[in-house]
Each structure stands twice: as C-alpha cells, then as structure tokens.
Amino acid sequence: MIKNDRWIVARARVGMIEPFEPDLVRQIESPNGYAPRQVLSYGLSSYGYDIRLSPADFRIFRHIPGTVVDPKHFNPANLQPTELHSEESGDFFILPAHSYGLGVAIERLEVPPTITVISIGKSTYARCGIIANLTPAEASWRGHLTLEFSNASSADCRIYANEGVVQLLFLEGEPCATTYADRAGKYQDQPQEVIVARV
C-alpha cells in the first residue's frame, strides 16, 4: 500500500527524512529582500515527498577514447564534475543534450524495515526532456540517494539545485526476512556526494 501524507509526517518526526519540509514549497524568500522566487516544488505532497538536488556534487558522463564503461570496474574518470551556475532564478547545473548525469539528494533518508521507497521523475522536468531513473531505496536503507538523469532532448537543460527534482513514493509490504541493512548493502549510508557503480 502507498503511504499518505499523515504517515510521512509521523515517520519524519522520528528521522525518516532529514531535513523535512511539512508543506509543498513552491516559492522561497529572495536573499536580497526582493519578491519571493518561484522554485520547482519540494516537500510533502498527498502521497509522496519531493526531494531536492544538492548543489554539492553533479557529474556528467564523458567519453574517454579507448574505454568502455564497466559497472563491475567503474572508472571514475568517466564522470566529469560540473560547474554550479547561479542566477536570479536560482542555482543550477547544465545537463548537455543527449547526455547522462549523476547528482545527489540534499535529504537523508532512513527507510523503515517494512517500506521500500521509489523515486520517480517530476513532470516539469519530463516536459523538458529530462528523465530521472526509477531508483529504489529498500527496507532499512540509510543515506543520501544518488540520483540519475538522462537528457533525452536535443537541447542543453538546466537542473536546479536546492529545488525539487524527484518525488519519493513509500510502499509498505509484509515484513521481509532480510532488510538492506541486514545484508550490509553496498550503498548503505551514502554521504551527500555522488557514489559510482559498485559490485
């Protein structure tokens, strides 16, 4: 069963999402005292929670002649750190046309043992050609999600930091025999930085 806003609030009070925003934020105060600035929404929704992209780390895949990306022996040199740009509209990274990038969530999750979390893309980005990979966080997973984005369009696209980037859905099931924490999963306790493929 998908969990609602009341359940998400109750679990956030005991540390499931940190930091936690109990409302759906669509505008924020401008740092210079000007009119409030519109943002891509983040925070609590009816049956989910929109998390934000961290400004700390965003990387784009690049081709290194003579190499093939291998998930069993990932070469970090295949990922190029990307500059954070700032304008009145906000801070953003640029994901080039037909490219793939990795970012990380600001929020830290601590998933309960009977819950699996699925992250899905926001429709505002989808309408610009940005596809967010459907990423799970299994029962008892902890950390900052590494987020994956594909720019399927023929134009470069901004991805805004400190604003909503994907929505989390919380699905409850019967208790499992072995949680992610029990098996000491390889992506447990991810920090607020991009974590590359591991075996």
* Cβ within 8 Å of residue 121, ≥6 positions away: 130, 131, 132, 166, 167
The alpha carbon of 22 is separated from its chain's Cα centroid by a whole number of angstroms, namely: 18
From 21, 29, 87, 148, active-site residue: 148
**Pair 3, 12: CB distance under 8 Å:** no
Question: Taken in order 89, 94, 97, 100, is the CA torsion positive or negative?
Answer: negative
* Cβ within 8 Å of residue 93, ≥6 positions away: 53, 58, 82, 83, 84, 85, 101, 103, 158, 159, 161
90-95 and 85-87 strand pairing: antiparallel
Active site residue 148: yes
Catalytically annotated residues: 148
